[in-house]
Structure 1
């Protein structure tokens, strides 16, 4: 009989599962890999890839590792969770809001019509 893992885990553990899923999504987006393409490379169904990225705790660890290798060959799960990947860091930098500086008096005068 199949057991729904979401019903058997505490909310803290479900939160950790969601954090792991966010790491997978960030890595995939940072590496510009489509979800379907990563699933095919990993030998998984697209539904399983969706479950991984939604944080389903019932997905086997082997499927997680194959999906990770399909997105970023050679990367370990520990590196993913640490957020050490340069592509993820670049994605985070691009997504941060940029502060707009005020114009100097000379720049304001040049723009005055």
Structure 2
């Protein structure tokens, strides 16, 4: 009989597994690796990769580590949790850059004193 792991997990642990999955997804996107390619490199199905990135608590820690190694060879779980990967740092910098729009004529007139 299968047990639904998310049903017996505390809310705090559910948030932590979801956060771990989110970090895996962000690292994969920062490294520009397709989910299907990462799953293939890790040796499991795309559905398992999807479940990992959604924070499914029913997956083994070995699968998490294999997926992490498929995305960023040599990266450790500590690197992932501290977001120390250079690709993640670049992604954060790119996301924080905001494009500034030009002021309209009315806004310029309002600022003209």
What TM-score, normalized by structure 2, do the two folds share?
Answer: 0.86
CA separation of 1:102 and 1:20: change in aligned 2, threshold 3 A: same
Question: Counterpart of 2:25?
Answer: 25
RMSD of aligned alpha carbons: 1.8
In the other structure, the counterpart of 1:84 is: 84
Aligned residues: 104
The match for 1:10 is: 10
Counterpart of 1:72 in structure 2 is: 72
Structure 1 runs of 4+ aligned residues shifted over 2 Å read 99-103
Distance 1:101 1:50 in 2: 37
Rounded Cα–Cα distance in structure 2 between residues aligned with 1:57 and 1:17? 6
Gaps of at least 5 residues in structure 1 are: 109-113
Residues in 2 aligned to 1:79 and 1:91: alpha-carbon distance in whole angstroms = 15
Q: Which shifted more, 56-65 or 88-97?
A: 88-97
Mapped partners of 1:36, 1:5: distance in 2: 25
| TM-score, scaled relative to structure 1 | 0.86
Give the Å deviation of 1:102.
7.8
CA shift for structure 1 position 73: 0.3
